């Protein structure tokens, strides 16, 4: 049995400072709070540690980027070496060019690449370059799809109203009303409704953007292939948001894994090895709109102080080098398969209605008896029960985030056994 330490004075003080100086007392990244305060001290391998001295097996892993675990030796050494050479240049540098070559070699759609610093900016850049290329304004996205926090992304990401498709619902205050006029919403995994919207708006749509695996909802058989055929039929660029799936499902990302090649893709998380780095990559004829000399009057200026940062580049290269090991993805998928089965078995043992949904490498539990095909199915989940389960897991020394368990290569057999035992114990307490 794991005995979690009570909150220390140091952790309480840090929590008070966070509440004093930070809105809602947090970074904005996790809206649901655990019952006991939780401030990270450090991380190593598959574990993170809080200021009260508690150790947790980490299935958040920085929201995905730490696929090798925390403070991976090769990544740390690469960063330390680069630090001695300089931390940023605002210019082309050897490491970022090497990373550009590696990504373009690995990813099917990537003929050219432009770097930025966040997944939000990467998806925003995808939309902007698609508009420049097509000369059109509207974007079609899928209800519940997460593409960061820019104005276009924050449309029907977590809608509270079941609006008729394709009407969007803004998810945030501060978004100009005119933005809603340029965003169309379709239901994920529903190709018929999607086609009806595209057919009606084909002359106005600049791009269709989709998460190949939408949060924890896997694509239905043939959905991505049909979406690709549909966008080709109407000559509309298809964007894969691979900020999560890039270099996670396979080395070539979701497009290699599912065998469907988009026109553009956004990347982040793993590609920066835990540092602020992201990218938009795609077909040369589209990406060349970043070149003002080639597209005078129809080009995209894109400047960023830390774009192509060499420290992030070497961290990304050191991470990708390890992912090239043929055994890496086998281990990730095998770990996920084992944990998904154990989680499902625990719920079945205690007769708790739940669905385990998502990819082997990133998934979660939804407390519902409904099959999860789209956002509205996902919204039927019992959020109070999920919160209780997450707190039970945390008190067993397992950091299970609110909406995803990310697999990492740092997980050991002992970690997996501890997690499976925690699944069973937590399931047994859900009815208490």
d(CA 254, CA 190): 19
Active site residue 133: no
Active site residue 241: yes
Task: Check 146, 152, 375, 406 and give the catalytic one.
Answer: 146
Peptide bond preceding 166 in cis form (omega within 30 of 0) = yes
> What is the side-by-side order of every strand in the sheet holding 355-359?
355-359, 362-366, 405-406
Active site residue 269: yes
d(CA 128, CA 300): 8
Task: Check 50, 121, 241, 415 and give the catalytic one.
Answer: 241
Do residues 372 and 355 lie in contact, with contact meaning Cβ atoms separated by under 8 Å? yes
Which among 209, 184, 188 has a CA at the least distance from the CA of 197?
184
d(CA 188, CA 141): 9
Phi and psi for 419 in degrees, rounded to 5? -65, -45
Task: Check 136, 141, 269, 373 and give the catalytic one.
Answer: 269
Helix or strand run (H / E) with residue 148: none
The 10 Å Cβ neighbour count of residue 23 is 9
d(CA 77, CA 37): 33
Residue 111 Rama label (left phi>0; alpha psi -120 to 50; beta): alpha
Catalytic residue ranges: 146, 241, 269
């Amino acid at each position: 049995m794991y005995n979690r330490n009570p909150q220390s004075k140091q952790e309480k003080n840090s929590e008070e400072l966070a509440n004093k100086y930070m809105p809602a007392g947090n970074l904005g990244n996790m809206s649901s709070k655990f019952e006991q305060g939780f401030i990270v001290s450090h991380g190593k391998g598959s574990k993170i540690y809080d200021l009260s001295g508690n150790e947790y097996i980490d299935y958040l892993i920085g929201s995905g980027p730490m696929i090798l675990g925390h403070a991976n030796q090769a990544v740390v050494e690469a960063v330390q070496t680069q630090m001695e050479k300089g931390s940023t240049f605002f210019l082309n540098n050897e490491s970022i060019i090497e990373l550009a070559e590696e990504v373009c070699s690995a990813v099917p759609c990537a003929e050219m690449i432009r770097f930025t610093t966040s997944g939000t900016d990467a998806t925003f850049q995808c939309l902007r370059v698609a508009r420049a290329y097509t000369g059109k304004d509207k974007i079609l996205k899928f209800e519940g799809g997460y593409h960061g926090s820019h104005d276009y992304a924050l449309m029907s990401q977590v809608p509270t109203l079941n609006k008729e498709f394709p009407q969007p619902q803004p998810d945030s205050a501060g978004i100009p009303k005119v933005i809603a006029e340029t965003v169309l919403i379709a239901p994920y995994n529903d190709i018929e409704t999607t086609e009806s919207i595209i057919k009606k708006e084909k002359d106005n749509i600049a791009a269709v953007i989709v998460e190949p695996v939408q949060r924890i909802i896997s694509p239905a058989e043939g959905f991505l292939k049909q979406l690709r055929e549909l966008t080709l039929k109407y000559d509309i660029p298809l964007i894969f948001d691979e900020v999560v799936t890039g270099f996670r499902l396979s080395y070539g990302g979701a497009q290699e894994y599912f065998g469907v090649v988009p026109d553009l893709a956004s990347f982040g998380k793993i590609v920066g090895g835990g540092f602020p780095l992201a990218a938009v990559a795609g077909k040369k004829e589209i990406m060349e709109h970043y070149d003002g000399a080639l597209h005078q009057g129809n080009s995209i200026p894109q400047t960023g102080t830390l774009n192509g940062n060499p420290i992030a580049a070497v961290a990304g290269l050191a991470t990708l080098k390890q992912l090239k090991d043929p055994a890496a993805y086998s281990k990730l998928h095998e770990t996920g398969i084992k944990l998904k089965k154990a989680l499902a078995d625990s719920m079945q043992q205690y007769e708790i209605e739940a669905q385990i949904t998502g990819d082997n490498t990133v998934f979660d539990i939804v407390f519902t008896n409904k099959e999860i095909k789209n956002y509205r199915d996902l919204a039927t989940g019992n959020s109070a029960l999920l919160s209780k389960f997450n707190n039970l897991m945390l008190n067993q020394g397992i950091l299970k985030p609110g909406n995803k368990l990310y697999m990492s290569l740092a997980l050991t057999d002992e970690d997996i056994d501890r997690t499976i035992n925690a699944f069973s114990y937590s399931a047994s307490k859900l009815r208490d």
